[in-house]
Chains A and B, each alone.
Chain A
């Protein structure tokens, strides 16, 4: 068994990854941007909207895969962090009507939230960390009811967006915004994880004691990883707010956080390409399930079928991979 695994997986995969690695991130990002541009001019509005959603999801899954895949911290709270970003965006936008400012505010505020959770998270392991972040995911939406004069409870807030410049249709504009965010995020993460930070977070994941002995500041590295991924979640939250032109607690249920985990696990933990794949699945699968639901004429099937499929895929992938997460994970060796 072990023998086989070592022979078939180990030499093949890193080589492939290694070859991909030779394409500098900047080139990959530019190619991606060009592709998106072409797509936004060819796709119909609804597809553009879906494309935009993929971009928004990618923004958060990219950050999460760095946290979970490269640093080994599982967060079930990223849905709540997205909510933080989305609400900050909404409140700032409705007040000052400036999208750059609002996006910036969303990132800053969510980053601060990430610092708080990350400080706690760095002292926790395994199920305790999962439990804490799960609590965050479940509890944070209830804040909207506690401070209902600001957040307007379950009704949420609608957002006064700046109109798209010129005659650009809304959906294309949304796709551009989301993908601008996604690609910048991916570029920054790719650059970041190739440098010293990347080496440190992987060292901490693999063996905390060894990392400490090698001079890595373990706690600081973990907090930093959490903060980076929180910033991504904040931006993603803002992008979701741009997409929906409104925010409400119902848009950020616990299942959103679980979906994000599923996406990065299925895509192959620790790879940005995997995060992209996961983001794609998050949009495609529910769409397919919805179609199937409409065909069958059962309203109950719609959202729920996607839930079941996601769950089954997640369980099957976890059980089929020998060693669980560790073997799904890619090592991203530096050359």
Chain B
């Protein structure tokens, strides 16, 4: 029972990170109908920036801010220089271009920083508090919840309460109509990529210290989990992404805890296959399955 409670909190903490990362995927999917397969690589790049800044200044938080800002800028750059020019006649075009970006980013990171794993510090301790003799969660977990929670709240407010949010939604759903109403659709798209990349960077900052460490391919597995989370929730649904993230986090935690850590990736694959074949529109969608 103790173990179950511990694993649950651990799963929710992991899940929060996947939720953030899935949210980043959903943001771009809604805005541009592209699944950004380069999201993981871009996030790793941001974490390397944080690593360098922290290394130079000795401050975790300066590195943290640098990663987020770098994420924003990288999102803008990727949209403006590459993704904007992708032909949309086939959904595969966007996928293949994003894969090209993965190779570029991983290659550049390898050249700049080398291909060894680098341990990366956390701003808070990762050993769990005990409540009534049960190990619940660590200070770091609390930090993760707070950071992801803040992002979710901020994005919700942005999209539901602000003019920019309304413009972004309109531009994503009906670009031509929006342009006729004076919405700068291209700008909204760029903004969407920037936000998504920043959220992805945050997820990277949160997850890399809890995994093997920093490496150009450090987010490959995380990407698969987050993609699964996004698919579980339905690629169109931000709420679904958050829910999906938590579901995947819990699954991973229970499977690792009860069956062994090496089984966890396969569990994610099984979940992905099950959802894709059973409910391709996501577990929470009411609408018809969307296949492309």
Contact = CB atoms under 8 A, between A and B. Distances in A.
Interface string B256-292: 0000101101101100110011001000000000011
B111 A143 contact: no
Given A127-B35, A139-B269, A301-B111, A318 B102 contact: no
Q: Top 8 A-B pairs ranked by shortest CB distance? A: A307-B107, A311-B103, A126-B91, A304-B110, A324-B93, A311-B104, A314-B100, A308-B107
A281 interface: no
A315 B35 contact: no
Interface in B207-251: 217, 220-221, 223-224, 227-228, 231, 235
A325 interface: yes
Contacts of B101: 311, 315
Interface in B142-173: none
Nearest to B29: A127
10 contacts: A123-B276, A126-B90, A128-B280, A135-B272, A142-B266, A303-B110, A307-B110, A308-B111, A311-B105, A314-B100
A76 interface: yes
A300 B114 contact: yes
A135 B228 contact: yes
A148 B35 CA distance: 34
A307 B272 contact: no
- Interface of chain A, main secondary structure: helix
Nearest to B261: A145
A279 interface: no
Interface stretch (B9-17, B54-62, B81-89, B132-140): B81-89
A46 to B, nearest CB: 24
Given A134-B227, A300-B111, A304-B108, 17 more contacts: A74-B96, A123-B276, A125-B91, A126-B291, A127-B34, A127-B95, A135-B228, A135-B272, A136-B269, A139-B269, A145-B262, A261-B99, A262-B100, A304-B115, A311-B100, A314-B97, A318-B93
A132 interface: yes
Interface of B: 29, 34-35, 37, 82, 85-87, 89-97, 99-115, 217, 220-221, 223-224, 227-228, 231, 235, 260, 262-263, 265-266, 268-269, 272-273, 276-277, 280, 291-292
A119 to B, nearest CB: 9
Interface in A300-327: 300-301, 303-315, 318-319, 321-326
Contacts of B95: 74, 126-127, 130
A261 B102 CA distance: 13
B111 A304 contact: yes
A190 interface: no
Given A301-B111, A311-B102, A311-B104, A135 B269 contact: yes
A14 interface: no
Interface stretch (A89-97, A222-230, A252-260): A252-260
B96 A261 contact: yes
A126 B111 CA distance: 32
Contacts of A258: 99, 102-103
B35 A131 contact: yes
B15 to A, nearest CB: 18
A309 B103 CA distance: 8
Nearest to A314: B100
Nearest to B235: A127
Residue among B85, B109, B262 with max Cβ neighbours from chain A (10 Å): B262
Given A131-B227, A324-B93, A125 B291 contact: yes
Contacts of B106: 255, 304, 307
A311 B89 CA distance: 22
B103 A308 contact: yes
A208 B209 CA distance: 46
A120 B90 contact: no
A265 B103 CA distance: 15
